[in-house]
Amino acid sequence: MNRGPDPKKRKVPLPHTAPSRQKLAAEYLQGKVPGVMQAYAPDAVADPELGWVESDETVHRLAHWREESAT
């Protein structure tokens, strides 16, 4: 089955995706930058049953950030 060109080697921007997001995705796939969850919740851990688990402090900090950004 042909899946098309390898996204890691793609140099031409996709027409439906912002170039900045494509650049970030490419850098993430190359291991150059952390994932989004690691950026917003650096102390979170992956749990096989619960998925991505953040600390209470991180949850409160993100909730406060969301409240401030809504005003």
For the stretch 23-38, pLDDT in tens is 878 887 887 877 776 7
Reported confidence tier of residue 64, pLDDT bands at 50, 70, 90: very high
Give the chain's end-to-end CA distance (angstroms, integer).
50
The phi, psi pair for 12, rounded to 5°, reads -90, 130
Helices (H), 30-55: 36-40
Q: Is the pLDDT of residue 69 over 70?
A: yes
Distance, in Å, from the CA atom of 42 to the CA atom of 40, rounded to the nearest integer, reads: 6
Backbone dihedral angles phi then psi of residue 51, each to the nearest 5 degrees: 85, -140
